[in-house]
Structure 1
């Protein structure tokens, strides 16, 4: 859809800046947008005020995410006055909500181009159409049952990359907008995934992260020939690939077969993100999560039994409609019993269009804040205690980048996802090195790089350090 806005065609300045909000799926989408733009001859501009094209890739998982994006859009009203040829595009999950699009069209004339999650591949075409006509362009597909292959990807890191294995979600949790913004589940063909991973490895990539709203249900729409456990086992055979991660697992679909595959595959990192959301069976039913407190505890026990040294993280929503103090205490009980390494904790946020938005017994903000503070106190103590088991241990770290706070220090992650900071140099980036932990903190580990000679005297490895707390 095109709406009249400009009386003349914009001058084309072939530089771009992408600002990404939200999850790894959005990050991967932004890498694809960047890849398409560079294929068109655009160059990336780090200064958002100087770019000829600015793209805001939005997230709509929570209300404050919407408000943050709208605030960013509003700021471009001033930028446009000093840079009238700037093209401002907004895409992503927020644009799949008609009421948000209508709000932008009505209140934010500085936005030139709007597209959604399902027609990402149209970026070159949409940009060209806007530049030819000079009119605001809105193109949002309601849904799509296909995944467009072979899009160019501009990866942030040459040694690690995201690989989307499926799009969409069929779960329809009562609080979640994702099935409405990302659509129903569509799995990629396994040969396409293998081809992409092999190309990444040939290009120097040693770590991949498999992405999907619910990776455990991968292959459900492809028949009996493939499932997530089989995919992990097949990817584990690829030469020169060293680490396989994945996000995100739904507890109801984390089968024994998947747990066994993680345990058996040496390249699959012993780290699982398991978003339980609540520990109360009553609230889980209201959330439409399709599992109980007993199911959670069974899965965590099975994970720890089969995967020595595993790290398990989670998501917790506090203040879901109708949550009583007793329900909240059930969540605290599960947190303590599961001993999660860390957790993303959220205040329940009303998402218009979801069933939970109209539920009775919405929880007052002051109660939500009290409960989240109490949960964080418990979670932080558990994180601190688990990290203490790393003290003086030797761990394998994939070095990712220079520390943001100290140019003489590097930062990377263990196979269990622990953030490690240590003195080093840029030549370490993209390599796996051994680091002895000298100070274990609540949210990260400090260490010193050691040579191979220092490894021989070590009595513990990364796995040993964590299994002591399991």
Structure 2
């Protein structure tokens, strides 16, 4: 182990066993309450934010299912409501507060109702203080580092009429071997690492998710093997920066090597991952995407801005030229790669010339899709203190121009698929039809087509005969 290298630790087996004892205690409570009320005791989880939050919510759901709770989509019919929160953008926080206020009436109607709030927002002390003051009907507050302690926190809340608050400032350890309840049996999120060390000047994530911690390769492999045995066909590996996987582990572990290991697992048909940081995208990772037949030809590589000056102010640690060089290298080795990105419009200090550089990158990189955002000031980040905030009307104008350019590129790329045959993993019925099925290509493009129930979960060939900006229409050969 190199000098100064921190080895990520796991929550002890004793602590995990203790949580299972709390699970058994609450299971008895739920059984007694079910008999008393003559109805199932239900939980409702509302998730705000990213795919990692979604995966965290699946773990919360797994624990609650073990405790005897039934899932419920209707808050008003729930006996336990959990908000799993995000704080990347201000509007996400305001949405949580609005929903939280509406729960007070439900608490008055159902005295057994327990309200819990967790996730990234709770890692901000000012948010916890605000909830304590304004939303006294909340029963449990916990953060991102101790989700596995839900059974213990719930047990404490049931036995007490006081608000239970357990938010850890420290990063904590990784909890393995806790239950999980996945909504999708065909596709699954698999978190491979937590936290972020990059400290981009606009981003609150390192402050609320902590420093980078990688899961052990054996634990990840075992989880994926179990998924394959349960019929899962596609996995998406998650991390704030998956390219940093293994740097905190003892031994020579890299994300490229992890992909190669998972590529060997029988039953899994496709492997995806997100998110990659450009500064850590190695040649070896590019080769792994190219050489591993199960790793999809799709790369999400956030550029955030096209101006080297703005990128430096963002603390992104690469220039416009370096980014474009990286894109060229990826396309050289993986010609059929599908590229997506994130772009922030209106970062403090962004001039019209800086924005023109962003448009130039979009024109040259030719993304299949770009997730575009107006800059959102986050208290506690360096960018929030920058006096050169861009006026909202200027941001919106630039946003519209960026969207117009990207939409034209997306349509152009999709047009090139017209008449071609693509491989699609059939996911199920389209949301708005009883005869149209939907799936995705290896490049992560949505394809809609007329099909039958027996196709779900299968890899099939579809000929593209209709083009839209964000999706494709096809016909079975």
In 1, are the aligned partners of 2:437 and 2:448 still within 8 Å (CA)? Answer: yes
SS in 2 for 1:150: coil
Other-structure match for 1:70:
97
In 1, are the aligned partners of 2:145 and 2:172 still within 8 Å (CA)? Answer: no
Q: Distance in 2 between matches of 1:290 and 1:207?
A: 32
Matches within 5 A, 1:78-227: 78-227=105-254
Matches within 5 A, 1:191-340: 191-340=218-367
Q: Distance in 2 between matches of 1:18 and 1:213?
A: 23
In 2, are the aligned partners of 1:61 and 1:176 still within 8 Å (CA)? Answer: yes
Q: Distance in 1 between matches of 2:443 and 2:406?
A: 17
In 2, are the aligned partners of 1:145 and 1:186 still within 8 Å (CA)? Answer: no
CA deviation profile, 1:396-418 (whole Å, cap 9, x unmatched): 11122321111222211111000
SS in 1 for 2:99: helix
In 1, are the aligned partners of 2:87 and 2:120 still within 8 Å (CA)? Answer: yes
Which ranges in structure 2 are unaligned for 5 or more consecutive residues?
Answer: 1-28, 35-40
In 2, are the aligned partners of 1:95 and 1:115 still within 8 Å (CA)? Answer: yes
Q: Distance in 2 between matches of 1:424 and 1:153?
A: 32
In 2, are the aligned partners of 1:12 and 1:131 still within 8 Å (CA)? Answer: no
Matches within 5 A, 1:294-443: 294-443=321-470
Q: Distance in 2 between matches of 1:94 and 1:431?
A: 39
- Residue 77 of structure 1 deviates from its aligned partner by 2.0
Other-structure match for 1:45:
72
Q: Distance in 2 between matches of 1:285 and 1:12?
A: 57
TM-score, length of structure 1 as denominator length: 0.92
- Residue 135 of structure 1 deviates from its aligned partner by 2.2
- Residue 223 of structure 1 deviates from its aligned partner by 4.1
Which ranges in structure 1 are unaligned for 5 or more consecutive residues?
Answer: 1-8, 451-470
Give the root-mean-square deviation of aligned CA atoms. Answer: 1.4
- Residue 12 of structure 1 deviates from its aligned partner by 4.8
Q: Distance in 1 between matches of 2:160 and 2:295?
A: 49
Change (3 A) 1:210 1:127: same
Q: Distance in 1 between matches of 2:259 and 2:243?
A: 11
**Number of aligned residues:** 442
Q: Distance in 1 between matches of 2:440 and 2:318?
A: 31
SS in 2 for 1:49: helix
Q: Distance in 1 between matches of 2:231 and 2:205?
A: 33
Q: Distance in 2 between matches of 1:381 and 1:79?
A: 47
TM-score, length of structure 2 as denominator length: 0.90
Q: Distance in 2 between matches of 1:426 and 1:93?
A: 39
Other-structure match for 1:465:
none
Q: Which runs of 4+ in 1 moved over 3 A?
A: 9-13
